[in-house]
Structure 1
């Protein structure tokens, strides 16, 4: 799910339904940010399958972290998502993605330095 407020962000929630995910997301974000639940605005609640189908990455599990696609390539990745789940594989994929992005930055910096 994507949050518009309090800060714009993304959260991964393990829930039985979209409604349950909506309730969990709003409640947790309100508590984390110390605001009333009515001030939390969220949208775009999608299932894991929907995110995979909409994505373009070769590694299908990474597709859930894609926020924007342009020209058939990922234009923006989730930066600091909230994980409201105990799914260790999702956290592992997140760590793998961050390592891949860091390696890409290092390779780019080395090419420029040459």
Structure 2
């Protein structure tokens, strides 16, 4: 993978889960602190979904550093997109995340990840078809 995450990502990126109306989504945003991330995400998601801030359900708020420390990908920057792991392998990646940031390095990294996953899926389908 070519893109490296920006210094801004490495110092102020947070990932959290948002639950609303039987739906759950992963949200990425930049903030100065964990408390600021919680407040900014609450305000933004309340506005986006037209609900009261008190009705915004956030959980699993994790900093960039915590994501890197708990991840398993060889490319540490990809660890921010890991959702589930089985031993040394990633079994689920962040799908359709909501980016509350315009950081080009984060968006580029996610696009590279999904291009690679699509390539792997295509190669796997081709191999199955050849059997």
Same fold by TM-score greater than 0.5: yes
102-111 or 25-34, which deviates more? 25-34
2:19 aligns to what? Answer: 4
Q: Distance in 1 between matches of 2:65 and 2:97?
A: 18
Q: Are positions 1:30 and 2:46 aligned together?
A: yes
1:70 aligns to what? Answer: 86
| TM-score, structure 2 normalization | 0.83
Q: Are positions 1:108 and 2:124 aligned together?
A: yes
2:4 aligns to what? Answer: none
3-state SS, counterpart of residue 46 of structure 1: strand
The structure whose RCO (Cα within 8 Å, separation 6+) is larger is 2
Runs of 5+ in structure 2 lacking a partner?
1-15
**Aligned residue pairs, count:** 114
| TM-score, structure 1 normalization | 0.94
2:62 aligns to what? Answer: 46
Say which of 28, 36, 56 aligns to 2:72.
56
Aligned Cα RMSD in Å?
A: 1.1
Question: Contact conserved, 1:5 with 1:40, CA < 8 A, in 2?
Answer: yes
3-state SS, counterpart of residue 37 of structure 2: helix
101-110 or 1-10, which deviates more? 1-10
Q: Distance in 2 between matches of 1:93 and 1:43?
A: 24
Structure with greater proportional strand content: 2
Question: Contact conserved, 1:5 with 1:42, CA < 8 A, in 2?
Answer: no
